[in-house]
Each structure stands twice: as C-alpha cells, then as structure tokens.
Amino acid sequence: MSKLPNITTSIFTVMSKMAAEYNAINLSQGFPNFPVDEKLTDIVAQLAKEDVHQYTPMAGFPPLLNKIASLVQKSYNRTIQPETEILITAGATQGIYSSIQALVGSGDEVIILDPSYDSYEPNVLLSGGIPVRIPLNDDYTPNWDLIEKGCNDNTKMIVITNPHNPTGKILSMTDIERLESILAKFPKIILLSDEVYEYITFEQKHLSIHTRPALRNRAIITASFGKSFHITGWKIGYVVAPEHLMKEIKKVHQFLVFSVNSISQAAISQYLDYVSVEEISPFYQQKRDYFQKLLSNSRFELMPCEGTYFQVVSYKAISDENDVDFCKRLIIEHGVAAIPISTFYENGKDLRLIRFCFAKDNATLEEAARRLCAI
Ligand code: GLN
C-alpha cells in the first residue's frame, strides 16, 4: 500500500534529469551555476583541518545560532533566543517537513495556496492532515476572502510562501494586514511562513513575518542559506519559531536527522561575518533585468517577477500544447529546460505558463535566450 498514492517524482528531479540526458541548458530546477564566493570556499578549506567533524548539538552549532539571531535582529529588528527559538535544518525542506509532522495531526486541516511549492501537500498527507487548497487570484495575490472562508475550528495551519515560488509574487502590507485580521479571529491557527527567498526581492521590499509582533509568536518561519549564499547543494537552512512550537519541532528533528552536518554550520557561521545580505537582491535584480531584456525579442510573454530567481513566461503565442509536453519538447528540440507551472496546482491547471531560473552566469543566460528567441 502506498502512503502517497497520487504523488509522483518531483518535477525538479524529472526536469533536471531530462535536461542532463539531452544536454540542454538547465533553467528548470532552481540553483545557481556561478562560482561560490571564494571567501566561503577558503573558510571550508581551512575548517576541514580543524576539529569540526563531529556532531554539533541537536539544534545547531551554537556560534551559528548566535549569528542567525544577530542576522534576524539586523534584518528585521526582532530579538530571538538562539537556544530556544532557532533550529538548523538540512535545507528549509526538512524544516518544513519537521514542522508539519510535529504540529499537524490526523484530521487537521492545513490551508495551502494554489499554486504552491510542491513539498507542502505531501508533508500534510504524511502527517494525516487534510490539505485545503485555496486558489490565488489571477494576479497571484492571495484571495483573503476565500482564505477566511476556508478557516474553521479544524484548521491547524496556514502555509504561505513569500516571496512566492513559482510565481515570484511578494506579499504587500495590505496582504499582511488581512492575514493578521483573519488570524486574530482564529487564535489556534499556526502560520508557516516559507521565506527562503527573503533576500531576493526587487522593486518592492520583502515584508517578513519576523517584523509582525501579532504573527511571529504563532509563526514558524523558514530560511535557506542555499538560496542566499548560492550553495543549494549544501542543503542547509533554518527554522525560527516561538519556544512552545519549537519544542515540538525539535522532537521530530532529533529523530529525523538528529543534527545537521557540522562543517557547513561552522563555515556559514564564520562567513556571516563577511557577507552582506543586502547585496543579494541587487545582484539578482541585474540578472532578472538582463534575462528579461534578452527575452524581449522572443515570442514568450514575460510575467511580472517581484522576487525569487524565477521568471514565469507564457508561451501562448508559440504553442497550444500543455505545459508538460511543451517543456519536454523545449528540452528535446531547443535545448532549454524549464518547469511547467501546472505541476504546482492541485489539479494541474494548464495556463500555458512555464518557469525559468535566471540564477545563471551571463553566458548561460545569453545562450539560453538565443535558443528561446529562435522559436
Ligand atoms: N526550490 C527549488 C525550485 O523551486 C527546487 C528544490 C528541489 O529540487 N527540491 O526549483
């Protein structure tokens, strides 16, 4: 018997594998292809010779927990307790899984927006919970009226992604205030705020739940060093939650991974003294603008991209195929891999939209755009 009968291999695995098979430029799964900061690799090389190879404490390497508390203080003016409110996780994915396993039980409803990142729903199903999908508006803003209607006494959690993957939408102050007013009416609901692209926002500033006193004491907030420092393969991120929730999350974490690999924790804790997170958004804004300019001569229509390193485009002017078939043909015939947006929907809504990752060096973006403009 399958515990997840309707879940198939993640689209990121499928598309990256196919891109490799056909030697296509891989703009599907989100990961950078440019070199990591030499400062970070120097730190790792030095640390490899030091005594950092055994288990760290379960919740994380204490110096890293302290540095994260300082980062959150500096970025969002929030004071958090390193020992009780932070957990280092093997990527945000593990933090999300552990949080949902720890806090959602059989029959609990969890509101997940539609479209959404692909891991939330299977996580809820494995915990015995009931995913309740609420469609976003056509412009990808949350439909707060529908969300409010979806909340009831069985609702245990609302999951939001801000900035949003795959659409690149970010929440406005009006959105956050609506969320606050809804949650004020449902004091038992926990907010899971997935903010892994927190440092990749463009014209509009990121509004973190860290900055909202009414929400943060009932919220689990996830972060990703992979996204922020171009090291997705390190699989390291963290969760911030108030102590009463964190105590439960740690119970799952300790029997899932016990602790996260030590050398990356030590390396990041040193690197945080050198790196400036304010430089990440301008860096990616240049990439977004460059990629958009390169595609402006193509038949793809560019959707707004307010944050993340993903550009969604419509191929309506090119083909009537569904987006999965189109993505496959794009790889085989044109040598570029993308992610079909339908896979982020509960029922595979096909809007002729695909997602490109622009976290690539300029030569890669130029060659990809040359191929895409020829279609
Ligand atoms: N978050 C990445 C993306 O959206 C993928 C992560 C993964 O492959 N699991 O592309």
CB-based contacts of 63-70 (< 8 A; 24+ apart in sequence) = 63/266, 63/269, 64/88, 64/265, 64/266, 64/268, 64/269, 64/272, 66/269, 67/268, 67/269, 67/272, 67/273, 68/238, 68/240, 68/272, 70/272
Q: Indicate if 70 and 206 belong to the same structural domain.
A: yes
Q: Is residue 297 part of a domain?
A: yes
Same domain, 127 and 208: yes
**45 in a domain, yes or no?**
no
- Residue 354 belongs to domain with CATH number: 3.90.1150.10
Average pLDDT of adjacent 10-residue blocks, the chain of 375 residues: 92 96 98 97 98 98 98 98 98 98 98 97 98 97 98 98 98 98 98 98 97 98 98 98 98 98 98 97 98 97 98 98 97 98 92 97 98 97
- Give yes or no: residues 325 and 283 share one domain: yes
Same domain for 206 and 90, yes or no, is yes
Q: Closest ligand 1 atom, CA of 357?
A: 10
- SS3 annotation, 201-235: ECCCCCCCHHHCHHHHCCEEEEEEHHHHCCCHHHC
Write the residue with the smallest CA distance to atom 3 of ligand 1: 30
**251 lies in which domain range?**
55-271
Do the domain assignments include residue 1?
no
- Tell me which amino acid residue 274 is: Y
Structure confidence at residue 348 (pLDDT): 85
Closest CA to 357 of 134, 31, 41: 31
The protein residue whose alpha carbon is closest to atom 9 in ligand 1 is: 12
Q: Is the CB of 30 under 6 A from ligand 1?
A: yes
CA of 121 to the centre of ligand 1 (A): 15
* Closest residue to atom 2 of ligand 1, CA basis: 30
State the distance from the centre of ligand 1 to the C-alpha of 322, rounded, in angstroms: 21
Q: Which of 17, 195, 205, 44 is nearest to 117 (CA)?
A: 195
State ipTM: 0.96
Mutate to test the pocket of ligand 1, among 9, 89, 165, 227 (most ligand atoms within 8 A of CB): 165
Q: Atom 4 of ligand 1 has which residue's CA nearest to it?
A: 30
- Cβ atoms 290, 206 nearer than 8 A: no
> How does strand 190-194 pair with strand 219-224?
parallel
What is the number of structural domains in the chain? 2
Same domain, 267 and 290: no
311 lines ligand 1 (CB under 6 A): no
Ligand 1 atom at minimal distance to the Cα of residue 166: 4
Q: What percentage of residues in the chain have a pLDDT greater than 90? A: 98
Q: Is the CB of 29 under 6 A from ligand 1?
A: yes
**DSSP one-letter string for 81-125:** -HHHHEEEESHHHHHHHHHHHHH--TT-EEEEEES--TTHHHHHH
Query: Is 0.95 surpassed by the pTM of this model?
Result: yes
Whether 50 maps to a domain, the answer reads no
Alpha-carbon span 320 to 9, nearest angstrom: 25
d(CA 59, CA 217) in angstroms, rounded, equals 19
Based on the fold, state whether residues 266 and 181 are members of the same structural domain: yes
| Ligand 1 and 308: CB distance under 6 A | no
User: How many whole angstroms from 118 Cα to the centroid of ligand 1?
Assistant: 9
pLDDT digits (tens, 9 = 90+) for 58-115: 999 999 999 999 999 999 999 999 999 999 999 999 999 999 999 999 999 999 999 9
* β-pairing verdict for 353-357 and 339-340: antiparallel
Are residues 80 and 30 part of one domain? no
Given 255, 271, 287, the domain boundary residue is 271
Burial class (CB in 10 A: 0-12, 13-18, 19+), 152: exposed
pLDDT recorded at residue 256: 98
**5 within a domain of the structure (yes/no):** no
Rounded to the nearest whole angstrom, what is the distance from the C-alpha of residue 165 to the centroid of ligand 1?
A: 9
